[in-house]
Amino acid sequence: MVNLLDLCAIAVPAGSRSDGLPFGVQLIGPTFADRPLLDLAGRWCAEPVAEPELGPHRTLLAVAGAHLTGQPLNADLVALGGRLHSRARTGPGYRMFTVDGPLPRPSLVRTGDGPPRGLEIELWDLSHDSLGSLLTTIAPPLGLGKIEIDDGRVVTGFLASGGTDPIAEITSFGGWRSYLASFMPR
């Protein structure tokens, strides 16, 4: 069925039924998502998954809000040839604030006293040229700076360059998606 719908899929073992017979699950993804789907299958089966390598003239960009997968500005990253590299968390010491403007978005601020587990982010693989093009579209108070992620690496990412309102702090939600989910009816 996935071929007819122009999707990709992989089947993985998922345990045993109550009568002892094995069963599995099928993971389905969009066209050309074979590599991420194989990585997901590896994680499902508790196998170590190698992190994708960056090509020459490419960099990782940490995003925490409107550029996350499924958010309004994600299409901008995709249009620039960006590829989701991995999901991660900031290192400790960051706080998140909402930013005023026509599009709801958060800002990360390095305060040194943020949650020890960090905040939810995504790492996107972009060419250096694409990163330069993206830079021209970033509205203040956001800008690009260096962000330490939970594994100790330092990558380029969206940071507040000033003008955040401490009353609008949303750090306690752990990330932008959780903050948005708090508005959903239960």
pLDDT of residue 127: 93
pLDDT of residue 163: 61
pLDDT tens, residue order, the chain (186 aa):
888 888 889 999 988 899 999 999 999 988 777 777 888 888 888 887 666 667 778 999 999 999 999 899 999 999 999 988 888 999 999 999 998 778 888 999 998 898 999 999 999 999 999 999 999 988 888 889 999 999 999 999 999 876 666 668 999 999 999 999 998 776
Structural domains of the chain, with CATH? 8-44 (no CATH), 58-181 (3.10.490.10)
pLDDT of residue 86: 85
pLDDT of residue 186: 67
With left for phi above 0 and alpha for psi between -120 and 50, is residue 93 left, alpha or beta? left
Three-state SS string over the chain comes to CCCCCCCEEEEEEEEECCCCCEEEEEEEECCCCHHHHHHHHHHHCCCCCCCCCCCCCEEEEEECCCCCCCCCCHHHHHHCCCEEEEEEEECCCEEEEEECCCCCEEEEEECCCCCCCCCEEEEEEEEHHHHHHHHCCCCCCEEEEEEEECCCCEEEEEEECCCCCHHHECHHHCCHHHHHHCCCCC
pLDDT of residue 139: 84
In this structure, what is the dihedral angle of CA atoms 142, 144, 149, 152, given to the nearest 10 degrees? -140
pLDDT of residue 38: 82
pLDDT of residue 45: 85
pLDDT of residue 50: 64
